[in-house]
Amino acid sequence: MTTPVDLDAVRQHLENTVMVDRVRISRPTGTPQLDVETGLLGPIPADVVWEGNGAVLSAHGLAAVENLVGGKWLDDTASWYGLITPLHAPLPQRGDRVEVAVSSSSTGGTAGRVWQALDPAEASTVEVARITRLDEITPP
């Protein structure tokens, strides 16, 4: 006999123990302008879509979270990073930019790094969190 999983308890556990950073999701709204004095492109204009609790985890971090909650709730990822946000957060779209606005850890290594959503957030009949595959944007 199997014991049913309390999905609300799993969601709460993830939000309290894993989604402890403040993440910002922004959506590009145009193209960068050329700075004629420097010859460099300026920032890409964007609107903030959402800012709130979440986590950016490496593929290894995502696997560790599966062990933390006691079950496999995430398929293997082809990308190295994944964004985890609560179910009430909006669905990130392909091309959205993700950054950790405030890190809860001084050793997390996410400060100053930016990622791009590879695909729309994953969807499922049964969900405990929003998962979005990310690719890091590296400066030239």
Q: Is 132 inside a domain boundary?
A: yes
Residue 43 has pLDDT above 70, yes or no: yes
What is the C-alpha separation between 72 and 33, in angstroms, rounded?
45
d(CA 7, CA 96): 28
In a domain, 37, yes or no: yes
Q: Note the pLDDT of residue 105.
A: 84
- pLDDT given for residue 137 in this prediction: 87
pLDDT: which is higher, 74 or 28: 28
- Identity at 93, one-letter amino acid code: Q
Tell me, yes or no, whether 62 lies in a domain.
yes
Residue 79 confidence (pLDDT) above 90:
no
Question: What is the per-residue pLDDT across 84-119, written as a single tens digit (0 to 9) for each?
Answer: 999 999 999 999 999 999 998 877 788 778 999 998
Mean pLDDT of the residues in the chain: 85
Residue 65, Cα to own-chain centre: how many angstroms? 14
Query: Could you give the number of structural domains in the chain?
Result: 1
Q: What is the CATH number of the domain that holds 17?
A: 2.40.10
Could you tell me whether strands 81-85 and 130-137 are parallel, antiparallel, or unpaired per DSSP bridges? Answer: antiparallel
Q: Is residue 1 part of a domain?
A: no
Has residue 140 got a pLDDT over 80?
A: no
Give the highest mean pLDDT range of 5-9, 18-22, 61-65: 18-22
- Scanning the structure block, which residue is given the tokens 């091309």? 95
Which residue's entry shows tokens 């062990």? 67
Residue 84 lies in a domain: yes
Confirm whether 2 is domain-assigned: no
Is residue 128 over pLDDT 70?
A: yes
DSSP of the chain:
-PPPP-HHHHHHHHHHHT--EEEEEEEE-S-PPEETTTTEE-PPPEEEEEEEEEEEEEHHHHHHHHHHHTS--S---SSSEEEEE-TTSPPP-TT-EEEEEE-S-TTS--TT-EEEESSSPP--SS-SSEEEEEEEEPP-
Q: What is the pLDDT of residue 69?
A: 60
What are the two backbone dihedrals, phi and then psi, of residue 35, each rounded to the nearest 5 degrees?
-85, 110
Range of the domain at 23: 7-137
Q: Model's pTM, two decimal places?
A: 0.78
- Quote the pLDDT of residue 77: 45
Provide mean pLDDT across the span 69-85: 66
